Amino acid sequence: MVSTLKYLSVLVLVFLVVDAANGQGLKLGFYAKSCPKAESIIHKTVASYVSYNPTFPAALLRMHFHDCFVRGCDGSVLLNSTSTNQTEKAAIPNLSLRGFSIIDAAKAAVEKVCPGVVSCADILALSARDSVAMIKGPWWNVPTGRRDGRVSTIGDAFIHLPPPFFNVTQLKASFASKGLNAKDLAVLSGGHTIGIANCAGFSQRLYNFTGKGDTDPTLDSEYVPRLKSKCKPNDFVTNAEMDPGSFKTFDSSYYKLVAKRRGLFTSDAALLNDPETKAYVRSQASNNGPTFFKDFAVSMEKMNTIEVLTGNAGEIRKHCAFIN
């Protein structure tokens, strides 16, 4: 009997460990009793910003992605550098992140009602979802209960964030390391339907693809002159729309661009170099994205549980830019 109880105890412990690793410490409505107005306060705060600047959803979605791919969805991307530590914010891929003021405003508003209860990691996850829905994008479930991480280093960002020059093999490996598959890669890349990109992120494709002053042959030759008129060599200031004509609206038109070989980044073009991702691009491009919204919601629900901290791990920050 004793041995049986010991076995059951070990078995329960194993399941708890596995659940925590898969984000199962989260649940919908986590703050229903501890801070019932939390999600509505966050939604209202985000809406006040998006109403006057419809480019913020792209910024918040990107920030959420950058957070989850580095140390999991723990709000580590929100931490400021100190005199002794450069955080993820200082990494080159994160220097162009926007929307920190929105997260800070939402946190301040929630703290007034429920001090020390709602994590910054949850606020970021909810803000990304709500903002996308505000520009007619999909809605996905965001279970809450994340805890805030206490560690953020510049090196982790360089290691874990897939850069825009990755090929499809590298992209699939990067996503697989986070529990995401090739379909998730194709689906989440569709987030590029909103937002802008700095010319520096793709100028090599226009002016010096192989180091010989040439253009990337996988880029539509008729599209190149238009991009060159927008982005000059060594231009680190100008931005280009990732989905010209509808970059403020969440839709499936991104896939039509990629299918025409007009994706801005090498990583966009790379989707045509793998059978599974190429098939997804073609299917969404030819039929006005029949399953894109549903697929995006499913992939986001997977992404927002990556390596989360729950229970007694981490902390609940008082201010999102600083550990307690």
Q: Which residues contact 284 (CB under 8 A, 6 or more apart)?
A: 190, 252, 255, 290, 291, 292
The rounded distance, in Å, linking the Cα atoms of 64 and 53 is 18
Question: 147 — alpha (psi -120 to 50), left (phi > 0) or beta?
Answer: beta
Annotated ligand binding at 72? The verdict is: yes
Annotated ligand binding at 192? The verdict is: yes
Annotated ligand binding at 160? The verdict is: no
Catalytic residue among 43, 64, 66, 160: 66
Q: Which residues contact 18 (CB under 8 A, 6 or more apart)?
A: 24
Annotated ligand binding at 88? The verdict is: yes
Tokens of 142: 């965001």
Tokens of 168: 């499809």
The rounded distance, in Å, linking the Cα atoms of 34 and 29 is 10
Annotated ligand binding at 148? The verdict is: no
Annotated ligand binding at 163? The verdict is: no
The yes-or-no answer on residue 43 being catalytic is no
Annotated ligand binding at 243? The verdict is: yes
Annotated ligand binding at 70? The verdict is: yes
Q: Which of 159, 155, 154, 139 is CA-nearest to residue 304?
A: 139
- For 236, counting Cβ atoms within 10 Å of its Cβ (0-12 exposed, 13-18 middle, 19+ buried), the class is exposed
Annotated ligand binding at 122? The verdict is: no
Which amino acids are annotated as binding site, given as ranges? Answer: 67, 70, 72, 74, 76, 88, 162, 192-193, 243, 251
Which amino acids are annotated as binding site for Ca(2+), given as ranges? Answer: 67, 70, 72, 74, 76, 88, 193, 243, 251
* Catalytic residue ranges: 66
Which amino acids are annotated as binding site for heme b, given as ranges? Answer: 192
Which amino acids are annotated as binding site for substrate, given as ranges? Answer: 162
